Amino acid sequence: MIKEFIQLIYPEFCAGCGDQLQFSEKAVCSSCLVELRNYSFTSAKSFFGRHIAEDEIYLFNNFKNKILQKIVYELKYNRNKSSGYILGMELGYLIKKSIHDCSYDFIVPVPISKVKRNKRGYNQCELIAEGVSQILKVPIAFNYLNRNNNLNSQINSNRYQRWLNVEEQYSLIKEFKNYSKLLIVDDIVTTGATINSCIKAIKKNNSKITISVAALAGSKVI
């Protein structure tokens, strides 16, 4: 009742289409969710032919979907934090449906740089991870991974140089020594270099650990 009253004064709008949300809806309207679910997808086990993760799970198969692009923009640049949580829950349901054993020790959100975090006020991958965590009942490993800040500008680098730059970009703050199964959560996987670097940093510390990856979308051609 109070929520409905507040919404009358401060209406909330869908991060996908901009329409006013119904009382029962949160961040993304039900027709945008239905539209997005048409793209729901579980992927194969490699990034561009490189087998680096145990499973690779994308909620939506391609980032070219306009509604998804709009929601991710709202999430990253317009402080629409709820949309990350809602899509994270969707991702959690997909993982539960498609992966037989979801007994991860931790969910590991991909860290963003301190500069971006200060500017944005939050890490959008942590918000997505919170939605996934809610569904899978797996705790989140906050502040285990660190994104180093010593990158050269990527603007003038070619693709291979960018890959090399990203290679050493992440390091561990806390160890995963006594754990066996992790789920890394990212927003959008593009080249896979970020994920590769995160996995390398974790496996340097524990080579036997099994790592799966889940993201809202991947941009690779399938």
Write the DSSP assignment of 6-29 as a string of letters.
HHHHS--B-TTT-PBPPTT-BSB-
Q: Shortest gap between Cβ of 4 and Zn ion (angstroms)?
A: 19
Q: Shortest gap between Cβ of 9 and Zn ion (angstroms)?
A: 21
User: What number of other Cβ atoms are within 10 A of residue 204's Cβ?
Assistant: 10
Which residues neighbour 5 within 8 Å (Cβ) at sequence distance 6 or greater?
A: none
Q: Shortest gap between Cβ of 70 and Zn ion (angstroms)?
A: 9
Exactly one of 3, 5, 9, 16 binds Zn ion (CB under 5 A); that residue is: 16
Stretch that binds Zn ion, among 7-15, 39-47, 128-136, 147-155 (CB under 5 A): 7-15
Alpha helices in the chain (DSSP H): 2-9, 30-37, 66-77, 81-98, 114-120, 124-136, 159-167, 193-205
For residue 189, the Cα-to-chain-centroid distance in whole angstroms is 8
Site size toward Zn ion, by CB under 5 A: 5
Q: Which is nearer to Zn ion, 83 or 123 (CB)?
A: 83
Say how far apart CA 160 and CA 146 lie, in whole Å.
23
Exactly one of 14, 87, 138, 216 binds Zn ion (CB under 5 A); that residue is: 14
Coil vs helix vs strand at 182: strand
Q: Shortest gap between Cβ of 87 and Zn ion (angstroms)?
A: 13
Q: Which of residues 54-113 bind Zn ion (CB under 5 A)?
A: none
Q: Which of residues 193-222 bind Zn ion (CB under 5 A)?
A: none
Q: Shortest gap between Cβ of 104 and Zn ion (angstroms)?
A: 31
Which residues neighbour 116 within 8 Å (Cβ) at sequence distance 6 or greater?
A: none
x-or-dash string of contact with Zn ion, 17-36, rule CB under 5 A: x-----------x--x----
Q: Tell me which residues touch Zn ion (CB under 5 A).
A: 14, 16-17, 29, 32
